[in-house]
Structures are given as structure tokens and as C-alpha cells.
């Protein structure tokens, strides 16, 4: 029994050795750049005492939430890390170097912990950066538009760089350490990141929307006070929500997308390199990603509005185009000079084209000036019902267009890579699809910078409102806020498109890993599993929407109670107890998180145990298809409703306070949990389910693989028992979460405060 590590360096050419070192250096450079930006941002002035006080309250709430969140999932993570460690013994994991199973198990568990840790770190640091930046953006807006834009964007860039740097670093380290064994370890790395992202997305999404909806229902609807009115006990929770949902949740989610695309490309690349003997199949994606990090550093630093008043979007776009040009050039150079194979260039370029196409589609279906949003705005003239119908119709349509674009990019990848038929044709095609995902997420640094920008400016705007800043400064913040809304929607679209590509690549590695002869839909087991797989994202969405409803109701009750019982609150002489609402949101989000997460982890195992591996693959296909369709539908419909309302607030069809505006607000509220909780959470959901299938399928495969050595009947009995226990766990969790109906659970109305506290 010998242990072989760091074997990659033995095989690599000297160019490749240097290339790997450069990749590592660039990854570290990205992290250093993040540190550099952090210092820059923190140096900016923090504004008045009142602004700092509010900012501190938000920061306290955000960190309290994350602490609670990490505590809740810590046990789940430990349990899973142990399972991941043991997955080496149960299944058909085999080291290429005859390394001992415990080493592989340990490596995989280490990868899992690293993935989860990196994901958590990106979320934690990203959120804290955003919470430090918001007040500074508010302050800067009082003097300079350029300065405010720069601080917001740079704070967002920090999260982007952390994502890039840590994702690249993790993948490269695992590759260097384990080389031919690294697919086994990379799966753990991907699983850890994805799982954490699922928790952060669902928890953060429930938190942010429950606080938002709760604050609006009492404030705007019942009491008729404006948004962000300091008498509303839920306003701080609402601000905190923007951070835990749109910053922490989003950052963990995009990190996960970035990480899983690289994991799947490396796994497939390694499988090919076993056949061809060339290392560039793995090193190319790493190099391309490094080039992406490099171009993000240059381009994000270049973003500043050249003169006061230049459109913020223009400056950001300029940075994006610069980054895209550098990246595409690097694809060409690496493909031509290093791989001597232009297919690498074409495949990654298809990814970039896909990113651009998705961006175009998202923009068309959610931007205020385009047809669909204008149509929604017009529909508000005939009331909320037509508003909703118009949004559903255009949301469905956007989802269809997006799935067709994704299908075409898979088609393009397949045409580029299909070559001549043969044993390895499929492997090449899937590698091509994975490269497409690599290309699509090359500019993650820029995308996150654009996206994080949204909640930072939103918060800055809220702080401005609560502190009553000057009109000019408020206008600056409102302009920046509008830009943030569009960039947010675009990033969500790209993340979801990447989910399908990454899931297809994982699906392929699943297929290759277990040497399935086929995934034959005509087999009834496969078809049955396929139907059930399609149901999962719908059930998940239903749970997420209900969870927001339930949590919002708890908040509504609390805010009502405070209005009724705190003397002088309405008159403005007393302060509400903000922290109480923050605490309620925090615990509600944690409580609601577990059922959907359990379902994601347990359902593939149940299907695999009961119906076998081929059926499990059918299950995954159903999850991917319906997950993609629902995610885009909910995100884009929600974004369009949001902007439909904004268009009216800007003066169309009677402006604020008109009947049209009321209908627009209904659309926006319906869209809220769809676009910020259920929709984006489907992205990590799809991948968690795929990764659980790949990692634990080794266990599921037992009855087939070891049929000759074990007694078949015993194994089947064990399978059935585990599966039944799994179904029971899901059912009980589901029953428990449904026990109290989502709306109006407590009979308290505006007049009757609940008898608590």
C-alpha cells in the first residue's frame, strides 16, 4: 500500500508546469485584488452618526442571521462529510494509483468541506463587504455620482474576485494533489459548494422576501406609510434581508455555479486525458478561467463614469466588453498555440455567445422599456388580474426562449465535438458542453460585481431614505438602484443557464462513472423516475413560496403587535424593536429551510435504491428540464412585474397612488417570492440533486455490482428499508411544514394583536 500524490507534475510538460503555476498565481492575485479593494472601500467616509447607527443595525442583523444559519447547517454538514468519507468504502470507487480507500474518502471529505467552506466564506465576506459599503455609497452620493458608483461597484467586485479566486484555487489544488484520482475528490468539492449554496439561497431567499412582504403588508397596505418608514419594525429586517438574500445567498450560489462548471469540465477532461494521454484537456479550462480572472481584474478596475452624469450602465458595460474581448482572445491563443485544436476555441466561444444571448433575452423580458414590461404596465390599467396574466404569459414565453437557446448551444457543442463515431464520441461531446459552461461563466467576476452592486445601492438608498438625505443625493441613489435591478436579473439568468450545462455535464460524468450502457426512456422504471423527477422542482417551488408566506405572516403579527403596544411609536416619539423582527425572520428562515433541503438530498437516493441507476438518470433528466423551465419562468416573470411597477411609479398610467399602480404593486408582490426565493434556488437544487446522485450512486449501485458476492435478497431488503425510511423522513418533514397553513395561520387580525410577548 503506497500513497501517490502530486503526480501531475511528473507527467506535465515544462510549459504545463509553468501554466499551472501561473493559474495558481492568478487565483491568488484575484484574492489579493479583493483584499486591495477591501482596503480601498473601507477607507471611504462612513457618513453621519445616524447613518452609521442604521448601518450597524443592518450589520448586526446580517451577521446574526449568518451565525444562526451556519449553526443550523453545521450538523448537516458534519453528518454529510462523514457519509462522504464512507462513500469510498460502500461503492465502486477505485484509485488509479492504488491509493488506499481511506485516503480517497478523506480527500473527498476534505474536498466537500473545502467546497462548503469556500462557499460560506464567499457569502460571509461578500455580505460583510456589502454591509460596509452601503453607508459609504450613501455618503458618497452626497458629493459625487462617480464616487458613489465606484464604491458600490468595487465592493461588488470584491465578492466577484473571491468567487473567481477561491473557485480556481480549489480546483487547481485538488488537481495537483490527486491528479488521476482528482475526479473522485472534485465531486466532493462540488457537492460541498452546491449544498451550502442551496442552504444560503433558500434560507436567504425566505428571509429577504418574508421581511419584504411582511414590511409591505403592514406598512404600505394596512397603515399607508411609505417604504423604509422608520416606524415600521420590519424595515431593518427588510434591509438585512437584501444582504442575506441578494448578497450572501447570491454570492454562494454563483460561487457554486463557477465551481461546478470547472469541476465537471475537469472530470470529463481527465477521463479524456486517460484516453489520449494529453494533459491539456484539464489544463485548458484552468487556463481559460485564469485568463477570465485576469481580465476581470483589469476591466473592473477600469469601471468609472468618465464624467459626472454619464450613465452608470454605460461605464459598467464598457468594463464588461473589455473583459469579454480579453477572454475571447485568450481562448483563441490557448486553443491555437497550446492545444493546437481550434475546437477548444469554438466551444468556449459558444459559451460566451450563450451568455450574451441569455443576457439579451433577460433584458428583453425584464427591462422597463421593452415590450413585455410595457405590456404588463398596460395590463395594470384593467386591474391586478390582467397584470398577473400578462406576466405569466410573458414569463412562460421567456422560459421557452431560454430553454431553446440552451438546447441550441448544446447542439452547437455537440456538432463541434462529435468528430467520428466511436467509443469515446459521447465523452468528447460532453466535454464540449462542459467547456461551453466554462466559457459562459468566464466573466463571473464582472457579473458578480454588477449583481452585488444591486443590493448595495438598494441599501444605500434605504439608508438615505431613513436619514432624510438631500434631494440630489437621493436622485443619484435612485438612478443607481434602477441599474442594479437590471444587472440582478441578468446574473440570475446566466446562473440558471449555467445550471443546465453543468447539470448535463454532471449527468454525463454520472453516466461515464457507472458505465451505464444507456438511459433508455422506454424502460418503465426510467420513465416512472423521469415523471417523478419532473415533479421535484415544482414541489420545491411550492414549498419555497409557502415558506415565504408563513414567515411573512409571523412578521406581520409582530409588527402589528408593536404598533398596538408600543406607546408613541405611531407618533414617532418611540422606536420600534427592530431586533425582534430580525430574530423572527432569522428563525423562521431556518425552520423553513430544512424540508426542501432534505428532499433534495434524500429523493435521488430513494429513487436510486428503489428503481436502480438507469432510472436515477431518468429522474435527473426530469429534474433538469422542469427545474430550468420553472426557474427562468419565475425569475423573469418576477423581474418583469417588478419593473412594470417601477415604470408606473415613474409616471406612466397615473403614477404612484393610481389604480394602475396598485395593480402593479400586486404584480410585484406576487413576483417577489418567485424571483428571489423559489426561482434562483432551483439553480443549486438541480445541481445538489445531480451531485448526490453521482456521489452516492456508488452506494446505490451495490445491489447490481456486488450481486455475485452478496446475497441479492439481503441487499434488496436493505435498499428498500433505507428508501422507505427516506420517504418517511420527507413525508414527515412535509407534513410538519404544511401543518400550519401558509396564510392566516394565526387568527390575529389588524385589530386583535396576538397574545404573545
Binders of its own copies in range 526-555 (CB under 8 A):
527-528, 530-532, 534-535, 538-539, 541-542, 545-546, 548-549
Contact (CB, 8 A) for 179 and 8: yes
Q: Which element (helix H / strand E) includes 50? A: helix 49-90
Nearer to its own copies, 51 or 640 (CB): 640
Least Å from the CB of residue 521 to its own copies: 4
Least Å from the CB of residue 309 to its own copies: 33
Q: How far apart are CA 470 and CA 51, in angstroms?
A: 13
Least Å from the CB of residue 519 to its own copies: 4
Q: Rule CB under 8 A: which of 451-510 touch its own copies?
A: 500, 504, 507-508
Residue 463: C-alpha distances to residues 43, 47, 201, 236, 238 (Å):
19, 11, 25, 10, 12
DSSP state of 420: S
Least Å from the CB of residue 548 to its own copies: 8
Which one among 232, 399, 590, 683 touches its own copies, defined by CB under 8 A? 399
Decide if residue 382 touches its own copies (CB under 8 A): yes
Which one among 90, 392, 478, 753 touches its own copies, defined by CB under 8 A? 392
Decide if residue 732 touches its own copies (CB under 8 A): no
Q: How far apart are CA 509 and CA 502, in angstroms?
A: 10
Least Å from the CB of residue 73 to its own copies: 24
Which one among 521, 574, 731, 732 touches its own copies, defined by CB under 8 A? 521
Of 34-42, 77-85, 87-95, 513-521, which segment contacts its own copies by CB under 8 A? Answer: 513-521
Size of the site for its own copies (CB under 8 A): 85
Q: Which residue has the cell 465535438?
A: 417
DSSP state of 144: -
Of 1-9, 105-113, 129-137, 742-750, which segment contacts its own copies by CB under 8 A? Answer: 742-750
Nearer to its own copies, 33 or 365 (CB): 365
Nearer to its own copies, 30 or 612 (CB): 612
Contact (CB, 8 A) for 171 and 118: no
Cell of 540: 420545491
Nearer to its own copies, 86 or 396 (CB): 396
User: What sign results for the dihedral spanned by CA atoms 171, 176, 177, 182?
Assistant: positive
Least Å from the CB of residue 620 to its own copies: 9
* Site track for its own copies across 629-648, x = CB under 8 A: x---x---------------
Decide if residue 5 touches its own copies (CB under 8 A): no
Least Å from the CB of residue 105 to its own copies: 28
Nearer to its own copies, 80 or 616 (CB): 616
Decide if residue 26 touches its own copies (CB under 8 A): no
Contact (CB, 8 A) for 600 and 513: no
Least Å from the CB of residue 20 to its own copies: 31
User: What sign results for the dihedral spanned by CA atoms 267, 272, 278, 280?
Assistant: negative
Helix (H, G, I), strand (E, B) or coil at 574: coil
Q: Rule CB under 8 A: which of 576-635 touch its own copies?
A: 617-618, 621-622, 625-626, 628-629, 633
Least Å from the CB of residue 669 to its own copies: 3
The alpha carbon of residue 167 and the mean position of all alpha carbons in its chain are separated, in whole angstroms, by 14
Which one among 177, 414, 598, 722 touches its own copies, defined by CB under 8 A? 414
Nearer to its own copies, 602 or 626 (CB): 626
Q: How far apart are CA 567 and CA 562, in angstroms?
A: 9
- Cβ–Cβ contacts within 10 Å for residue 243, how many? 30
Any idea what the Cα angle at residue 600 is, between residues 410 and 585, rounded to 5°? 115
Q: Rule CB under 8 A: which of 339-378 touch its own copies?
A: 371, 374-376, 378
Which one among 349, 394, 446, 509 touches its own copies, defined by CB under 8 A? 394
Q: How far apart are CA 525 and CA 612, in angstroms?
A: 8
* Site track for its own copies across 105-144, x = CB under 8 A: ----------------------------------------
Contact (CB, 8 A) for 562 and 569: yes
Helix (H, G, I), strand (E, B) or coil at 476: helix
Range 535-539, long-range pairs (CB < 8 A, 24+ positions)? 535/622, 535/626, 536/599, 536/600, 536/603, 536/622, 536/623, 536/626, 536/627, 536/685, 536/689, 537/623, 537/626, 537/627, 537/630, 537/631, 537/682, 537/685, 537/686, 538/626, 538/630, 539/599
Nearer to its own copies, 456 or 543 (CB): 543
* Site track for its own copies across 654-693, x = CB under 8 A: -----------xx--xx--xx-------------------
Cell of 157: 467586485
Decide if residue 400 touches its own copies (CB under 8 A): yes
Q: How far apart are CA 334 and CA 281, in angstroms?
A: 12
Would you list the DSSP string of 246-263? IIIIHHHHHHHHHHHHHH
The alpha carbon of residue 600 and the mean position of all alpha carbons in its chain are separated, in whole angstroms, by 15
Roughly what angle, to the nearest 10 degrees, separates helices 679-700 and 49-90? Answer: 20
Decide if residue 742 touches its own copies (CB under 8 A): yes
Of 30-38, 156-164, 408-416, 470-478, which segment contacts its own copies by CB under 8 A? Answer: 408-416
Which one among 280, 511, 563, 696 touches its own copies, defined by CB under 8 A? 511
Contact (CB, 8 A) for 560 and 215: no
Least Å from the CB of residue 147 to its own copies: 38
Least Å from the CB of residue 395 to its own copies: 8
Nearer to its own copies, 147 or 687 (CB): 687
Decide if residue 753 touches its own copies (CB under 8 A): no
Which one among 173, 426, 729, 753 touches its own copies, defined by CB under 8 A? 426
Decide if residue 232 touches its own copies (CB under 8 A): no
Nearer to its own copies, 34 or 697 (CB): 697
Q: Rule CB under 8 A: which of 207-226 touch its own copies?
A: 217, 221
Q: How far apart are CA 336 and CA 326, in angstroms?
A: 15
Contact (CB, 8 A) for 553 and 744: yes
Contact (CB, 8 A) for 101 and 87: no
Least Å from the CB of residue 666 to its own copies: 5
Contact (CB, 8 A) for 383 and 659: yes
Least Å from the CB of residue 394 to its own copies: 7
Q: Rule CB under 8 A: which of 44-103 touch its own copies?
A: none
Of 299-307, 562-570, 693-701, 737-745, which segment contacts its own copies by CB under 8 A? Answer: 737-745
Nearer to its own copies, 97 or 527 (CB): 527
Nearer to its own copies, 239 or 413 (CB): 413
Decide if residue 386 touches its own copies (CB under 8 A): yes
Would you list the DSSP string of 714-757? HHHHHHHHHHHHHHHHHHHHHHHHHHS-SSS-S---SSS--S--
* Site track for its own copies across 434-453, x = CB under 8 A: --------------------
Nearer to its own copies, 488 or 550 (CB): 550
DSSP state of 340: -
Which one among 46, 381, 474, 656 touches its own copies, defined by CB under 8 A? 381
Residue 389: C-alpha distances to residues 392, 638, 639, 663 (Å):
5, 12, 15, 12
Which one among 384, 493, 604, 703 touches its own copies, defined by CB under 8 A? 384
Q: Rule CB under 8 A: which of 159-188 touch its own copies?
A: none
Alpha helices, DSSP H, located in 179-249? 182-216, 235-241
Amino acid at each position: 500500500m503506497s500513497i501517490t500524490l502530486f503526480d501531475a507534475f511528473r507527467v506535465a510538460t515544462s510549459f504545463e508546469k509553468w501554466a499551472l503555476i501561473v493559474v495558481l498565481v492568478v487565483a491568488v492575485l484575484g484574492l489579493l485584488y479583493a483584499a486591495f479593494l477591501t482596503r480601498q472601500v473601507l477607507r471611504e467616509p462612513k457618513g453621519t452618526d445616524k447613518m452609521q447607527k442604521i448601518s450597524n443595525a443592518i450589520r448586526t442583523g446580517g451577521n446574526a442571521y449568518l451565525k444562526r444559519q451556519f449553526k443550523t447547517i453545521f450538523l448537516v454538514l458534519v453528518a454529510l462529510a462523514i457519509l462522504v468519507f464512507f462513500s469510498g468504502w460502500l461503492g465502486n470507487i477505485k484509485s488509479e494509483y492504488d491509493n488506499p480507500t481511506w485516503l480517497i474518502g478523506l480527500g473527498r471529505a476534505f474536498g466537500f468541506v473545502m467546497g462548503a467552506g469556500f462557499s460560506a466564506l464567499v457569502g460571509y465576506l461578500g455580505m460583510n463587504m456589502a454591509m460596509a459599503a452601503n453607508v459609504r455609497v450613501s455618503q458618497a452620493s452626497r458629493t459625487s455620482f462617480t464616487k458613489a458608483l465606484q464604491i458600490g461597484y468595487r465592493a461588488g467586485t470584491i465578492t466577484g474576485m473571491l468567487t473567481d479566486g477561491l473557485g480556481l484555487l480549489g480546483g487547481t489544488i485538488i488537481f495537483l494533489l490527486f491528479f488521476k484520482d482528482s475526479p473522485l475528490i472534485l465531486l466532493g468539492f462540488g457537492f460541498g459548494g452546491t449544498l451550502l449554496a442551496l442552504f444560503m439561497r433558500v434560507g436567504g431567499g425566505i428571509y429577504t422576501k418574508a421581511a419584504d412582504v411582511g414590511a409591505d403588508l403592514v406598512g404600505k397596505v394596512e397603515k399607508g406609510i411609505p417604504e423604509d418608514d422608520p416606524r415600521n419594525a420590519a424595515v431593518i429586517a427588510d434591509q438585512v434581508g437584501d444582504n442575506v438574500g441578494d448578497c450572501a445567498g447570491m454570492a454562494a450560489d454563483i460561487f457554486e455555479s463557477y465551481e461546478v462548471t470547472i469541476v465537471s469540465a475537469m472530470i470529463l477532461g481527465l477521463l479524456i486525458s486517460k484516453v489520449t494521454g494529453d494533459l491539456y484537456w484539464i489544463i485548458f479550462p484552468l487556463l481559460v478561467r485564469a485568463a477570465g480572472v485576469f481580465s476581470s481584474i483589469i476591466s473592473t478596475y477600469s469601471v468609472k463614469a468618465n464624467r459626472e452624469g454619464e450613465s452608470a450602465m454605460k461605464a459598467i458595460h464598457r468594463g464588461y466588453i473589455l473583459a469579454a474581448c480579453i477572454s475571447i482572445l485568450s481562448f483563441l491563443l490557448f486553443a491555437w498555440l497550446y492545444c493546437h485544436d481550434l475546437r477548444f476555441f469554438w466551444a468556449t466561444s459558444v459559451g460566451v455567445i450563450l451568455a450574451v444571448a441569455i443576457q439579451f433575452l433577460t433584458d428583453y423580458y425584464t427591462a422597463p422599456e421593452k415590450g413585455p414590461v410595457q405590456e404588463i404596465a398596460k395590463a395594470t390599467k384593467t386591474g391586478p388580474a390582467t397584470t398577473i396574466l400578462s406576466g405569466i404569459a410573458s414569463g412562460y414565453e421567456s422560459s421557452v426562449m431560454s430553454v431553446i437557446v440552451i438546447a441550441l448551444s448544446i447542439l452547437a457543442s455537440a456538432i463541434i465535438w462529435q468528430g467520428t463515431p466511436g467509443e469515446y464520441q459521447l465523452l468528447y461531446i460532453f466535454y464540449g458542453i462542459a467547456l461551453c459552461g466554462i466559457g459562459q461563466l468566464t466573466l463571473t467576476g464582472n457579473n458578480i460585481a454588477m449583481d452585488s452592486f444591486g443590493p448595495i445601492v438598494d441599501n444605500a438608498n434605504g439608508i438615505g431614505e431613513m436619514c432624510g438625505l438631500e434631494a440630489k443625493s437621493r436622485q443619484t441613489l435612485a438612478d443607481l438602484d434602477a441599474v442594479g435591478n437590471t444587472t440582478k436579473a441578468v446574473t440570475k439568468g446566466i446562473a440558471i443557464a449555467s445550471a443546465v450545462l453543468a447539470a448535463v455535464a454532471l449527468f454525463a460524468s454520472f453516466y461515464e462513472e457507472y458505465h451505464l450502457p444507456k438511459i433508455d426512456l422506454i424502460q418503465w422504471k426510467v420513465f416512472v423516475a423521469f415523471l417523478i423527477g419532473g415533479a421535484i422542482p415544482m414541489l420545491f417551488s411550492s414549498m419555497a413560496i409557502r415558506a415565504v408566506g408563513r414567515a411573512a405572516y409571523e412578521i406581520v403579527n409582530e409588527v402589528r403587535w408593536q404598533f398596538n403596544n408600543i406607546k408613541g411609536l405611531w407618533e414617532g416619539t418611540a422606536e420600534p424593536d427592530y431586533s425582534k423582527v430580525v430574530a423572527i425572520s432569522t428563525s423562521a428562515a431556518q425552520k423553513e429551510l430544512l424540508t426542501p433541503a432534505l428532499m433534495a438530498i434524500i429523493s435521488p437516493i430513494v429513487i436510486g435504491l428503489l428503481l436502480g441507476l438507469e432510472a436515477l438518470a431518468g429522474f435527473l433528466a426530469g429534474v433538469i428540464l422542469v427545474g430550468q423551465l420553472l426557474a427562468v419562468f419565475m425569475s423573469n416573470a418576477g423581474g418583469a412585474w417588478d419593473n412594470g411597477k417601477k415604470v408606473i411609479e415613474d409616471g406612466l398610467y397615473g403614477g404612484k397612488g393610481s389604480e394602475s399602480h396598485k395593480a402593479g404593486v400586486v404584480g410585484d408582490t406576487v413576483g417577489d417570492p418567485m424571483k428571489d426565493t423559489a426561482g434562483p434556488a432551483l439553480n443549486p437544487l438541480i445541481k445538489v440533486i445531480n451531485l448526490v446522485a453521482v456521489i452516492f450512486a456508488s452506494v446505490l449501485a451495490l445491489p447490481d455490482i456486488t450481486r455475485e458476492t452478496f446475497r441479492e435478497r439481503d441487499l434488496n431488503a436493505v435498499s428498500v428499508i433505507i428508501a422507505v425510511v427516506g420517504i418517511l423522513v420527507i413525508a414527515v418533514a412535509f407534513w410538519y411544514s404544511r401543518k400550519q397553513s401558509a396564510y392566516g395561520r394565526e387568527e390575529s387580525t389588524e385589530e386583535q394583536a396576538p397574545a404573545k410577548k
